[in-house]
Chain A
Amino acid sequence: MTRSSIAFWAGAAVFLAAVFVMTQVVGNQYPFFAGYIILQFIALAVAWSILGGYAGYVNFGTSAFYGVGVYASVFLVKAFGAPLPLQILAGAAMGALMGLALGLLTLRMQGIFFSIATIALTIVIETAITNWRYVGGAAGIQIQRPEVTAPFDNYVQMLFFVQALLVVLAVAISRYIQNSWIGRGLQALRDDELAAECTGVPTLRLKLLACVISGALMCAVGAPAAMYLQYADPASAFNLNYSVSTLAMSLIGGTAHWSGPIIGAIVLATTQQLLTVTISSEVNVLVLGVMLVLFVVGAPDGIIGLIARLRGNRGKGEA
């Protein structure tokens, strides 16, 4: 293991330990409720940018994957009373399949066509779920949580920890991809697809791989949301907000490095959570809009890019 790998895994271990200790010590529930949402967006943004960031294929269908994750859980709970780990695994499997199908169908298309196709896919899936009476259809469905298992004494605390695990998983995968030949291949095809092909990069296969991994992770992230809300309805599960927010988070953070989406998600999700409980009105939406515009105009490489530029300048100053 290289030094940076050791540092990364040590950091991940410390993070998980801290999350775990928090679930055991903190009695106030709010940090877990709000923290869950923030963690969920981190995982979504990281998963999204595997395809959207590294490969440059903008997936508008985050909400489709997220929603399918939610409804995979709803179905499993209703049909078999399946436990949480199984829900997440099933979600991931569904997501991988969906990613594969989406990829096969659309990845031959150039950039923006792919994006449009993902919008279409979202609507098709949402309509299908809306018409599926077994999982509640348009009317939505209320779900009973099972008893919480030790060592947690509260379900939301457990979900918080589970979501933290998913974040670590997503980041580890994203980091691995970036540092491996896969990441280099994706970066090459994002820069220039034909040049990449002519340099030996199997672009279609790599894109499919990215699509499958990204899809599996996004669905897995959605799966525990059914238990978090104890309620699911198509309009909320397939909300456009998920698609736009993950896109925004990745871009605000920067897509050049695996840490970009994390930073972006922390900044934007925390801001949104804070605004929800402070200003709390349409200004909230306005802030998202203004942040998006300011960042893509003023900091095209995101916060990561800003930091790099600052460092670069300082380095030059010293030299």
Chain B
Amino acid sequence: MSKKVSSISRRSLLATAGAALAAAPLGANLLHAQQGPIRIGMSMPQTGGLAGGGKASLLGIEIWRDDVNAAGGLLGRKVELVVYDDKSSASETPAIYSKLIDVDKVDLLFAPYATVPTAPIMPMVKQRGLLLIGNFSFQVNSKVGHDMWFNNAPWGPADSWATSFLDIGQKAGGKSMALLAADQEFAQNLAKTAREVAAKRNLPVVFDQAYPPATVEFSSIIRALKASKPDIVYVASYPPDSAGILRAVNEIGIGDNVKVFGGGMVGLQFGAVMENMGSLLNGVVNYNTWLPEKSMYFDGTKEFFDKYTKRAVEAKIDPLGYYLAPFGYASGQLIEQAIKAVGSLDQKALAKYLRENTHKTIVGPIAFSPDGERKETAVLQAQFRGVVDKNMEQFRTSGKQVILFPDNLKSGELIAPFEAARK
């Protein structure tokens, strides 16, 4: 009972406080300090297959929390994160989010990293009419149709990914495509859109294979792919496999007619993998979300990475953190701007604001389409160049991954064919 009373009074206090904020910040801070922090709840994969990404993403969010708290918090209240481990599994998240909503009574929800843990909570947040900031899940809202969902990932429309890669390939003279995808959730979704785009463009698919998880050796599969003599090779793979595939490509060769190779290889964004792969990376055109190219620095980006680099070492996570961490930070910025503009924690109002405006973040301006995905894709396609072995620091400099797409962020031209780009 007492809880209910306090939450009602909290809300009414908020309204007054919001108005008073601009006029008397110091007084407001005192007032709100007694109210307790704004609590943001989420699950995050910290064990299991998605843990690597989950931990990096969480660190990004934590840096945002510390920044915002250092600047006095939101609505004069401190921001606090309530985070549970979902073990990378879909079966854990419903109970966790119920705990966050019903027991912890958090003020706002962030989604866990990746599609699998996010999918089961979508119907729940829709039913309860709650705002949810998505975290790199793929087309998880397309069937549910929740209008208070906003994905921080730069994916954009479902097919934009395949479109941009095939554009690059076709411009380089590619007339046929080979498709190699992991038999897992994300990769299969990518493969599906790639097939659709290829069909639309009458681009023949000369090789189309799904390889099973935990495949050890890719030599034979690459050999078969090579035998099909494709011009464009689109690969949708997961971290352990991406390395195996690249090794096999390097050892077996892929043929002189291949113009571009890559596209959807997860793992080639993570520092440890990139360092280990070293020169094997050269020539690969792969998707990315953020890269240290001049065009990618926005307000606060550099400061963020300064902080991240320091803290990642202690936390034993990805030292580069390009892929997920800045977007975790951006999730915070989205909510920060919405709360500041709306002046309350009213979820409907926050969602309306998020839907209708363009938001400035450290990963560039973000605007949403009605389904809660980015209006325009901001997925980069970049080519690895001049990478040497066993050197983590090289990836912090520009020019190692030249951005080919999108046009407004472009930092160089494709070198084709693939074998030429490897030298």
Do any beta carbons of A and B sit within 8 angstroms of each other in the complex? yes
Q: Which residues of A contact B184 (CB under 8 A)?
A: 138, 235
A30 in complex: contacting residue of B98, B182, B210, CB < 8 Å: B98
Is B232 part of the binding interface, using a Cβ–Cβ cutoff of 8 Å?
no
B98 in complex: contacting residue of A29, A130, A232, A284, CB < 8 Å: A29
A232 to B84, CA, bound (A): 21
Residue of B nearest to A228 (CB): B94
Nearest CB in chain B: distance from A179 CB, A: 34
Whether A138 contacts B210 in the complex (CB less than 8 A), given A230-B123, A285-B47, comes out as: yes
Q: Which residues of B contact A127 (CB under 8 A)?
A: 212
Whether A231 contacts B47 in the complex (CB less than 8 A), given A139-B188, A142-B143, A277-B99, comes out as: no
A140 in complex: contacting residue of B84, B95, B116, B123, CB < 8 Å: B116
Is B400 part of the binding interface, using a Cβ–Cβ cutoff of 8 Å?
no
Quick check: A281 and B116 within 8 Å, CB to CB? no
Nearest CB in chain B: distance from A69 CB, A: 13
Whether A280 contacts B188 in the complex (CB less than 8 A), given A142-B119, A239-B91, comes out as: no
Is A137 part of the binding interface, using a Cβ–Cβ cutoff of 8 Å?
yes
A236 to B49, CA, bound (A): 11
Residue of A nearest to B128 (CB): A29
A281 to B44, CA, bound (A): 10
8 A Cβ contacts from A151-182 to B:
156
A207 to B115, CA, bound (A): 41
A241 to B86, CA, bound (A): 13
Whether A241 contacts B123 in the complex (CB less than 8 A), given A29-B102, A30-B98, comes out as: no
Q: Which residues of A contact B123 (CB under 8 A)?
A: 142, 144-145, 230
Quick check: A138 and B91 within 8 Å, CB to CB? no
A87 to B46, CA, bound (A): 33
A310 to B65, CA, bound (A): 52
Quick check: B122 and A30 within 8 Å, CB to CB? no
8 A Cβ contacts from A265-297 to B:
273, 276-277, 280-282, 284-285
The 8 A CB mask of B69-106 against A (1 = contact, 0 = none) is: 00000000000000111110111101110110111000
Q: Which residues of B contact A229 (CB under 8 A)?
A: 90-91, 94, 119-120
- The 27 listed contacts between A and B (C-beta, < 8 Å) are A29-B102, A33-B95, A33-B98, A34-B98, A130-B212, A131-B210, A138-B184, A138-B210, A139-B185, A139-B192, A140-B116, A142-B144, A225-B91, A229-B90, A229-B119, A231-B90, A231-B120, A235-B116, A235-B184, A235-B185, A236-B89, A273-B95, A276-B86, A276-B87, A281-B85, A282-B46, A282-B47
A28 to B104, CA, bound (A): 11
Nearest CB in chain B: distance from A154 CB, A: 9
Quick check: A140 and B102 within 8 Å, CB to CB? no
Q: Which residues of A contact B185 (CB under 8 A)?
A: 138-140, 233, 235
Whether A277 contacts B46 in the complex (CB less than 8 A), given A142-B143, A229-B120, comes out as: no
Quick check: A280 and B102 within 8 Å, CB to CB? no
Nearest CB in chain A: distance from B140 CB, A: 8
Q: Which residues of B contact A306 (CB under 8 A)?
A: none
Q: Which residues of A contact B49 (CB under 8 A)?
A: 235
**Which residue among A32, A131, A281, A285 has the maximum number of chain B CB atoms within 10 Å of its CB?**
A281
Is A37 part of the binding interface, using a Cβ–Cβ cutoff of 8 Å?
yes
Is B159 part of the binding interface, using a Cβ–Cβ cutoff of 8 Å?
no
A231 to B46, CA, bound (A): 21
A170 to B276, CA, bound (A): 51
Q: What are the 9 closest A-B residue pairs judged by CB atoms, nearest first?
A: A33-B98, A33-B95, A236-B90, A231-B119, A139-B188, A229-B120, A30-B102, A280-B85, A231-B120
Nearest CB in chain B: distance from A236 CB, A: 4
The 8 A CB mask of A177-206 against B (1 = contact, 0 = none) is: 000000000000000000000000000000
A315 to B238, CA, bound (A): 60
A285 to B48, CA, bound (A): 10
Q: Which residues of B contact A284 (CB under 8 A)?
A: 47, 85, 87
Q: Which residues of B contact A225 (CB under 8 A)?
A: 91
A25 to B164, CA, bound (A): 54
Is B189 part of the binding interface, using a Cβ–Cβ cutoff of 8 Å?
yes
Is B183 part of the binding interface, using a Cβ–Cβ cutoff of 8 Å?
yes
Quick check: B46 and A280 within 8 Å, CB to CB? yes
Whether A233 contacts B98 in the complex (CB less than 8 A), given A138-B183, A280-B84, comes out as: no
8 A Cβ contacts from B181-200 to A:
182-185, 187-189, 192
Q: Which residues of B contact A232 (CB under 8 A)?
A: 90
Whether A33 contacts B99 in the complex (CB less than 8 A), given A138-B183, A138-B210, A281-B47, comes out as: yes
A282 to B54, CA, bound (A): 13
Residue of A nearest to B49 (CB): A235
A154 to B11, CA, bound (A): 27
Q: Which residues of B contact A285 (CB under 8 A)?
A: 47
A84 to B100, CA, bound (A): 28
Q: Which residues of A contact B212 (CB under 8 A)?
A: 127, 130
Whether A130 contacts B119 in the complex (CB less than 8 A), given A229-B94, A231-B90, A285-B47, comes out as: no
Residue of A nearest to B97 (CB): A33
Residue of B nearest to A282 (CB): B47
A285 to B210, CA, bound (A): 31
Nearest CB in chain B: distance from A102 CB, A: 22
Residue of A nearest to B187 (CB): A138
A33 to B103, CA, bound (A): 12
Residue of A nearest to B213 (CB): A235
A225 to B213, CA, bound (A): 24
B103 in complex: contacting residue of A30, A144, A280, CB < 8 Å: A30
Q: Which residues of B contact A131 (CB under 8 A)?
A: 183, 210
A281 to B51, CA, bound (A): 10
Nearest CB in chain B: distance from A250 CB, A: 20
Nearest CB in chain A: distance from B349 CB, A: 24
The 8 A CB mask of A231-255 against B (1 = contact, 0 = none) is: 1110110010100000000000000
Q: Which residues of A contact B187 (CB under 8 A)?
A: 138
